[in-house]
Amino acid sequence: MRFAICEDDPTMQQQLADAIADWAKSRIIQADVLCYPSAETFIIAWPELSFDLAFLDIQMQNMTGIDLAEYIRKTDQNMMIVFVTSHSQYVFDGYNVNALNYLVKPLSHAKLLPILDKALMIWRSQKDAVILVSNGNGQQKLPFDDIYYISMFSHIASIQTEKDVYELRKTAQELSDMLPGYFVRCHRSYIVNLFKVKCMYKEFLLLSNGRTLPISRNKSKEVNDAFIRLHMGR
């Protein structure tokens, strides 16, 4: 998921960014968090980026968070918006722009986490749980859960299922943006579905179909932590 924080208080900005990062690790998802000190700086950057969830400070100089939300809604009806404010009386303005929720300063993790979980549920429901692949005669939908791993060679992704292999012309980063959080890059050439991992060893993964995949030294901790979080239900 990609998050925007539009907040003119640097301390609040950092606290919110850190809280999102911690939450994302616990939910095993990739979170890209970009921060902006004003509505104007957000607007300048926005044409080149897309965001799933934006935290907008209501009381900013010049252009307020409400103004920015109205600007966003002129062209984007899907971006989730959460208002951040010091005064709860402003929250009713959020109904006009279909805001997801609001946070009252100072930051409360107890109130933030349910908002992030709700946003994640909406985000996942909006994303197809399939990937389109070529079957020789045309395109077919391949469920993510059928994928064991993906190997990357020369900008060609080979998607391995129980019986078949499908090829896509995608980069590793493009695939990472498409895949659910339980897919992890264990090696520069491999992305693995952690639900298909039977055992994890120091230098390789044993999959439930008997195949083994290498683990890069610089990916070892990331893969280990993700595997533990997944199977501890965190």
More confident residue, 190 or 226: 190
Tens digit of pLDDT for each residue in 116-168? 999 988 887 766 567 888 777 777 888 888 999 999 988 889 999 998 999 98
Domain 130-232 has CATH 2.40.50.1020: yes
pLDDT at 88: 67
User: How many C-beta atoms surround the C-beta of residue 170 within 10 A?
Assistant: 18
Domain boundaries, the chain: 2-126, 130-232
Cβ-contact 128, 180 below 8 angstroms: no
Tens digit of pLDDT for each residue in 83-110? 998 876 655 565 678 889 989 888 999 9
- Beta-sheet pairing, 53-57 with 2-6: parallel
Determine whether 105 is exposed, middle or buried from the number of CB atoms within 10 Å of its CB (0-12, 13-18, 19+): middle
**Helix or strand holding residue 231 (H, E):** helix 220-232
Tens digit of pLDDT for each residue in 51-65? 889 999 998 988 999
**Helix or strand holding residue 17 (H, E):** helix 10-27
pTM for the model stands at 0.58
CA-based nearest residue to 23, from 89, 113, 147: 113
pLDDT at 233: 44
Domain 2-126 has CATH 3.40.50.2300: yes
Bridge partners for 141 per DSSP: 132
Q: Where are the beta strands (DSSP E) in 118-202?
A: 130-134, 139-143, 149-153, 156-160, 165-168, 183-187, 190-193, 197-200
What is the total residue count of the chain? Answer: 234
Q: CA 165, CA 110: separation in Å to the nearest integer?
A: 45
For 9, phi then psi, to 5°, come to -100, 110
pLDDT at 95: 61
